[in-house]
Structure 1
Amino acid sequence: MSLRTLYAVEMAAATGLAAKELYEYERVIREAGGFPGEVKSGPGGGTPATAGNTAVLLLALLASSSKRNCSAKGELAGSAVPVDKNGHAIRCPLTVESTLLAALTTLLDTPDMAAGIDRIEHDERAYVTRIVTRAGQIVEYRLGDPEPPTGFRAVRILDGHALHRIAAAIARLGEGEAVGDAAEVA
């Protein structure tokens, strides 16, 4: 099953973005070589709708407000590591992963775990991403130790309900279930 099918059946509705917009981000990432593994072209081809590929796409959407540099910014955000209150690198207490990309992949691969997430927020200027659980636990991911930014800051947020809907759709599609309107995006 391809990411295009995932857009049609759940991801577009969950994120509030049009399926064609999601596809354009996917195309930019694919052309930059941002998806791991083989991406097939032609009938039955496309980027496989795996948890890992979906995590790459979601990180690009969180880390960049434009398609132009979304692949590089998403890859950079994905390399962020979880840190404790003193800023020391740790393993994620939620997923036991050591990078944001790996943690998001685990969440997308485990719908029950994704259901416990309230939101994922990314502050590009501060190089910080936080996974916030419904129980109030916050896991902070950082890139290096930058100076705190001043002035205006924009924080992009992926709602936990959207994350869970996408994770559940990946699981259903992976099991071969028909989900909603699975028409491919043109």
Structure 2
Amino acid sequence: MITAEQHEKLRGWFVGRLPEDLYESVLEVTADREEITVIGRIPEPRLAESVSAAERDAAVAGRVQEFRERTREDRVAVAREAEHRFGKKVSWGVECGGSRTLFTHVAAPVMTRLRQPERQVLDTLIAGGVARSRSDALAWCVRLVQKNADDWLTDLRDSLDQVQRVRAQGPDADTTKTAGQEHR
């Protein structure tokens, strides 16, 4: 997990480095151990108010595809620079017309040990046709928690940021410098 200050620097770098006309605004820059994801808002297609929901959805999908193709070279150039600078893959996404689309993103394997009752949950999802495998079922469970516990997860992340700030101010904050000198 990155600190709040690291996140601010990362977001600032992307906001400063992205071409001015790439996004209307940068909405999110998130990072974990493997990946940085940049999501920005793009303009909605201009449509008459009387169009159907199906036409509106198709127009938004077309706008997203047009943006993806038109900006590919610029995004790849920024991603290469960022990958060299930060040592992580960069993924891209857009928000348009109230929906969010991720273009490419890392699907990192995660190993876990589950006891029988937990495996039975996954197997029930497979039997019910919700997932094709235990891996898919576990990913489905994570997405469900993410969707239903978003406020709680945000509070938890904020609390972790506060813990990192307090640790950085503690008495052991400069021990890396003094510890080596004490043992000479």
- What's the TM-score once normalised by structure 2's chain length? 0.24
Structure with bigger helix share is: 2
Q: Which has the higher contact order (CA 8 A, sep 6+)?
A: 1
- Greater C-alpha radius of gyration: 2
- What's the TM-score once normalised by structure 1's chain length? 0.24
